[in-house]
Chain A
Amino acid sequence: MRSPILQAATKYLLPILLLFSFFLLLRGHYYPGGGFVGGLVASIAFVLHSFANGTESTMKLLKHKPLSLIPIGLGISATSVSLPLLFGLPPMTGLWFDEPIPVIGMIGSSLFFDLGVYLVVIGVVLTILFTIALDNLSDKT
């Protein structure tokens, strides 16, 4: 069932939800939020898009398979975990730039860890949902 109302709403909701997910990701260091919640919100944005326009058009929108986000995210997180070893600090210690960056604020290695989690969550959720959705499609046809 295609609803034009949902389709029109999704057109505006998708960018807003993605922006909100990024906002959650960035504020997560000191306030409620972070990579996991941000990733969930971002994947909800895509799930909404797939409800409105069908799974196939969402996969076209994403261009790459969501599965490929998992190793990228894990790689970023693992690197940010082991980066402090190069500076003679224990793994997972937060490394920070001295000067804050406008808009974003202070940037440290923990942001990259969160970014990795964000990508892994999007990858996992979308892979699971698309696999189920496409299985159902192929069953029907």
Chain B
Amino acid sequence: MIDNHILAPVLIHLFSAVLQLIAWRKTVTQRIISILGTFLGTLLAIRLLADVYSKGVLTLNASNWEAPFGIVFVADLLSATLVLLTSIAGLAVSFFSATGVSRQRMLYGYFPIFHFLLMGLNGAFLTGDIFNLYVWFEVIIISSFVLMTLGGRKTQLEGAVKYMAMNILASTFFLTGIGILYGITGSLNMADLSVKIQQVQNQSLVGITACFFILGFGIKSAVFPLYYWLPSSYHTPPSAVAATFGGLLTKVGVYAMIRVFSLIFIPDEFTRNLLMIIAVLTIVIGSMGAVIKTNIRRMFSYLIVCHIGFMIGGIAMFSKIALMGALFYLFHDIMVKTNMFLIAGLIRQLRGTMDMKKLGGLYAQYPLISLVCALVLFSLVGIPPLSGFWPKIYLFQAAFTLDHYAFVAALIIGSFTTLYVIAKMWAEVFWKDSPDDVTVEDKFEPLPMFRKILLVLPICILCLVTLFIGLNAEAIVQLVDKISTQLLDTSPYVEAVLGKTK
């Protein structure tokens, strides 16, 4: 079904960014535009999800060009849900940035670039054209590179160089894959590709192309052995930026992998085994890295790597239950990871450091904030009935029925390490008394009430969404059930794009 308004969540961020560029150097105006823009974006995303839920897959032919020839935008349930989650995360980060980012950074265009990043993310989720997906990836990379270097400290530049080098390499692999794909099928439209790829004689060439995509998306989503750029770059930018990166950027890679492997390359035996090995090693390496880190943000960066493995494992098993688990975990992970980096930023405001050895006594001083943080951390660990618990049931069930015992072991290791690491962090940061020899530099206490609210409110918003996902798991399960049905049987998607006659 054709709906000309599915690009609204993309356009709203484009217009917010333009307005903020007009208000160049007027930081107060920019903050207000940013909060209003992300709020409107969230409302539009809710409307989009409601439309898709009731009417089925919606499409838009850009410039009115017919489907396989022009660029097509497709909103199915997976895209619409991810757009909604991106918008919610964007809203929270926008609130947090209003106080959490220094004025100096805002003067050099923090907010416009942040909105370009959100625009790129929404565009990547909504596009139905593989080359257009690449273009949105470039929009994301360029804006994230600016966000990462803004401020120009030495560590930031060092992290950014690693980030940029690896991501350009990923884009090159991705682009090469697209080139080969276009050469063997003559199409770039993903729905059209899914039909034409089955008619290709040389199926081994198709397999090689799939490997290019695994490499490209693998670097972007930070899987073993291509993950090392992530922990060495995510701890350098300000927390508001790290929250957007940690919550959303790696997940675009996972989304692209789900999309490409469900629609174009249906995973064969070799691809499944390859993905499964990658997933197991990613979980193990990620959890080993998380155990030894004492800086909160570095530890969180390794936890991102570790939990990416859960989703890749779900894709590798490629059964309905496994996909349900992977998707549920993806939704839960976006909310929780964004929130954790925001919490790290708040801790920095409260204590002036993120080193666990120098932290302590937060529970005694701020019991309410600690309670909110505890809910988020427990959700991450997956204490029932919070949100991290439910997807793991599905992943375990799928792994046991398909006899992937290595993945079961990796899941257990990953979950226990997360529990250990978070318990350690809880004890060190919140329960332990503040060390005597450390002078506390509290930037939070002297702030006016309004600014305190701006810092704590986004954490509460995301915490509420996480609680909703956990406590209202029934609704989410129904949603991921529908999504995984759409992923396994792509004929509604293809029909919506190409029309019924094909």
CB of B39 closer than 8 Å to a CB of A: no
CB of A59 closer than 8 Å to a CB of B: no
Given contacts A71-B18, A71-B21, A78-B11, contact A92 B62 (CB under 8 A): yes
Instruction: Establish whether residues B4 and A91, one from each chain, have CB atoms under 8 Å apart when the complex forms.
Output: yes
A-B CB proximity, top 7 nearest: A71-B21, A92-B63, A71-B22, A93-B64, A74-B18, A75-B18, A90-B4
Instruction: Establish whether residues B63 and A90, one from each chain, have CB atoms under 8 Å apart when the complex forms.
Output: yes
CB of B342 closer than 8 Å to a CB of A: no
**Quick one: closest A residue to B59, CB to CB?**
A90
User: With A and B bound together, what is the CA distance between A26 and B376 in angstroms?
Assistant: 56
User: With A and B bound together, what is the CA distance between A113 and B500 in angstroms?
Assistant: 34
Q: Which of A67, A75, A89 lies in contact with B24, CB distance below 8 A?
A: A67
By secondary structure, the A interface counts as helix
Chosen A-B contacts, 6 in total, with CB atoms closer than 8 Å, are A82-B11, A85-B5, A90-B4, A91-B7, A92-B62, A93-B63
A77-99 contacts to B, CB under 8 A, are 78, 81-82, 85, 88-94
**Quick one: closest B residue to A81, CB to CB?**
B11
Instruction: Establish whether residues A94 and B14, one from each chain, have CB atoms under 8 Å apart when the complex forms.
Output: no
Chain A residues near B4 (CB, 8 Å)?
85, 88-91
Chain A residues near B11 (CB, 8 Å)?
78, 81-82, 91
**Quick one: closest B residue to A67, CB to CB?**
B24
Chain B residues near A90 (CB, 8 Å)?
2, 4, 60-64
User: With A and B bound together, what is the CA distance between A75 and B278 in angstroms?
Assistant: 45
B51-93 contacts to A, CB under 8 A, are 60-64
CB of A70 closer than 8 Å to a CB of B: yes
By secondary structure, the B interface counts as helix
CB of B134 closer than 8 Å to a CB of A: no
Instruction: Establish whether residues B18 and A78, one from each chain, have CB atoms under 8 Å apart when the complex forms.
Output: yes
Q: How close is B121's CB to chain A, nearest CB, in angstroms?
A: 18
Instruction: Establish whether residues B64 and A70, one from each chain, have CB atoms under 8 Å apart when the complex forms.
Output: no
User: With A and B bound together, what is the CA distance between A88 and B60 in angstroms?
Assistant: 12
Q: How close is A83's CB to chain B, nearest CB, in angstroms?
A: 11
CB of B15 closer than 8 Å to a CB of A: yes
Which B residues contact A (CB, under 8 angstroms)?
A: 2, 4-5, 7, 11, 14-15, 17-18, 21-22, 24, 60-64
User: With A and B bound together, what is the CA distance between A85 and B24 in angstroms?
Assistant: 28
Chain B residues near A94 (CB, 8 Å)?
63
User: With A and B bound together, what is the CA distance between A68 and B22 in angstroms?
Assistant: 7
Instruction: Establish whether residues A71 and B5, one from each chain, have CB atoms under 8 Å apart when the complex forms.
Output: no
Chain A residues near B63 (CB, 8 Å)?
90-94
**Quick one: closest B residue to A82, CB to CB?**
B11
Chain B residues near A88 (CB, 8 Å)?
4
**Quick one: closest B residue to A70, CB to CB?**
B21
Chain A residues near B61 (CB, 8 Å)?
90
A12-68 contacts to B, CB under 8 A, are 67-68
Instruction: Establish whether residues A71 and B64, one from each chain, have CB atoms under 8 Å apart when the complex forms.
Output: no
Given contacts A78-B11, A82-B11, A85-B5, contact A91 B62 (CB under 8 A): yes
Most chain B Cβ neighbours within 10 Å, of A71, A85, A91: A91
Chain A residues near B14 (CB, 8 Å)?
74, 78
User: Given A75-B22, A91-B4, 15 more contacts at CB 8 Å?
Assistant: A67-B24, A70-B21, A71-B21, A74-B18, A78-B14, A78-B18, A81-B11, A82-B11, A85-B5, A88-B4, A90-B2, A91-B11, A91-B62, A92-B62, A94-B63
Chain A residues near B15 (CB, 8 Å)?
78, 82
Chain B residues near A67 (CB, 8 Å)?
24
User: With A and B bound together, what is the CA distance between A89 and B197 in angstroms?
Assistant: 32
User: With A and B bound together, what is the CA distance between A70 and B2 in angstroms?
Assistant: 33
**Quick one: closest A residue to B17, CB to CB?**
A74
**Quick one: closest A residue to B12, CB to CB?**
A82
Chain A residues near B17 (CB, 8 Å)?
74
Chain A residues near B22 (CB, 8 Å)?
71-72, 75
Given contacts A78-B18, A88-B4, A90-B4, contact A71 B60 (CB under 8 A): no
Instruction: Establish whether residues B21 and A91, one from each chain, have CB atoms under 8 Å apart when the complex forms.
Output: no
Q: How close is B200's CB to chain A, nearest CB, in angstroms?
A: 31
Chain A residues near B18 (CB, 8 Å)?
71, 74-75, 78
Q: How close is A113's CB to chain B, nearest CB, in angstroms?
A: 11
Chain A residues near B5 (CB, 8 Å)?
85
Chain B residues near A93 (CB, 8 Å)?
63-64
User: With A and B bound together, what is the CA distance between A89 and B18 in angstroms?
Assistant: 23
Given contacts A78-B11, A91-B7, contact A71 B62 (CB under 8 A): no
Q: How close is B53's CB to chain A, nearest CB, in angstroms?
A: 22
Most chain B Cβ neighbours within 10 Å, of A78, A90, A93: A90
Q: How close is B131's CB to chain A, nearest CB, in angstroms?
A: 16
Chain A residues near B64 (CB, 8 Å)?
89-90, 93
Chain B residues near A82 (CB, 8 Å)?
11, 15
User: With A and B bound together, what is the CA distance between A64 and B62 in angstroms?
Assistant: 35
User: With A and B bound together, what is the CA distance between A68 and B24 in angstroms?
Assistant: 9
User: With A and B bound together, what is the CA distance between A71 and B20 in angstroms?
Assistant: 8
**Quick one: closest A residue to B64, CB to CB?**
A93
Q: How close is B497's CB to chain A, nearest CB, in angstroms?
A: 14
Most chain A Cβ neighbours within 10 Å, of B7, B15, B18, B60: B18
**Quick one: closest B residue to A88, CB to CB?**
B4
Instruction: Establish whether residues B24 and A91, one from each chain, have CB atoms under 8 Å apart when the complex forms.
Output: no
User: With A and B bound together, what is the CA distance between A72 and B24 in angstroms?
Assistant: 12
User: With A and B bound together, what is the CA distance between A75 and B21 in angstroms?
Assistant: 10
User: With A and B bound together, what is the CA distance between A124 and B24 in angstroms?
Assistant: 15
